[in-house]
């Protein structure tokens, strides 16, 4: 079993509103190797850090992110689903987050899309933080968006996100699609779900020169699985559990 890096998914959402400054600050304090965050464009094409298309029930407004300007989003409050006593947060721009946390922690930055211009706009922000690129990885489910990022930000690492398997999908199809979608994206790594791991899948991807990272590593069984296969990097909603498990491995 090998040591793995731990990515805090949307920060520490059990203690602060997800994808907010407070959530990311808590990840830094607890010693996460990186934070995962999601980037969407506002109606005035500003990259902001928010996961969903729609503002959720834990916000003070409703509607689709792409219908709001940045100025309008400034008034939206975000509350912690898992800790009602936590202080409310707000929606930040990607620039604000990178300015605040760049150099303090690694970043896994997911481009949600689907706008074709998203890589150019987001790449414009990323190019202002080149001195932190060695701690960045850009992710997306869309190979085309990753290809565009590579062109706009040469040398920046891109990784492909692979969705949960559909009910009909066996591991041979997971393996085949993961390899070829990664090739399409020119991705350094593919991010799989723990249920998609097997010795055959892991070996096949590695034989193609494709690294494997794993997302949704949220229970003991998933942690045992990633440790068994020597996965170098995981993303979790349960940071403290993952950290305790890793500490036991040492």
Per domain, the residue ranges of the chain are 5-249
Partners of 141 in the beta sheet?
A: none
d(CA 120, CA 205): 29
For residue 161, which phi and psi values (nearest 5 degrees)? -85, 135
Q: What is the pLDDT of residues 111-125, one digit of tens each?
A: 999 999 999 999 999
Q: What is the pLDDT of residues 14-72, one digit of tens each?
A: 999 999 999 999 999 999 999 999 999 999 999 999 999 999 999 999 999 999 999 99
In terms of Cβ atoms closer than 10 Å to its own Cβ (0-12, 13-18, 19+), residue 84 is exposed
Q: Is the pLDDT of residue 250 over 80?
A: no
Provide the CATH number for the domain formed by 5-249 in this structure: 3.20.20.190
Token pair for 209: 């020169």
Q: Is the pLDDT of residue 78 over 70?
A: yes
Token pair for 19: 């994808």
H helix runs in the chain, sequence order: 21-30, 70-73, 94-101, 118-126, 143-152, 171-185, 199-207, 220-228, 239-249
Q: What is the pLDDT of residues 163-204, one digit of tens each?
A: 999 999 999 999 999 999 999 999 999 999 999 999 999 999
**pTM recorded for the entire structure:** 0.97
């Amino acid at each position: 079993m090998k040591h793995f890096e731990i990515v805090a998914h949307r920060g520490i959402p059990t203690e602060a509103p997800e994808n907010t400054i407070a959530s990311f600050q808590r990840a830094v304090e607890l010693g996460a190797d990186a934070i995962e965050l999601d980037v969407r464009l506002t109606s005035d094409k500003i990259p902001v850090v928010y996961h969903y298309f729609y503002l959720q029930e834990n916000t003070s407004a409703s509607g689709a992110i792409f219908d709001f300007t940045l100025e309008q989003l400034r008034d939206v409050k975000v509350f912690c689903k898992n800790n009602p006593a936590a202080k409310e947060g707000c929606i930040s721009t990607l620039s604000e987050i990178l300015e605040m946390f760049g150099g303090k922690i690694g970043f896994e930055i997911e481009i949600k899309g689907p706008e074709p211009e998203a890589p150019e706009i987001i790449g414009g922000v990323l190019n202002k933080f080149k001195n932190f690129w060695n701690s960045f990885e850009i992710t997306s489910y869309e190979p085309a968006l990753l290809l565009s990022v590579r062109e706009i930000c040469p040398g920046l690492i891109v990784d492909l996100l692979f969705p949960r398997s559909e009910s009909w999908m066996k591991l041979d199809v997971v393996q085949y699609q993961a390899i070829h979608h990664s090739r399409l994206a020119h991705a350094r790594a593919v991010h799989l779900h723990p249920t998609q791991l097997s010795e055959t899948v892991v070996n096949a991807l590695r034989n193609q020169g494709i690294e494997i990272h794993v997302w949704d590593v949220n229970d003991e069984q998933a942690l045992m699985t990633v440790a068994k296969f020597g996965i170098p990097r995981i993303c979790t909603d349960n940071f403290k559990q993952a950290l305790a498990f890793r500490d036991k491995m040492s």
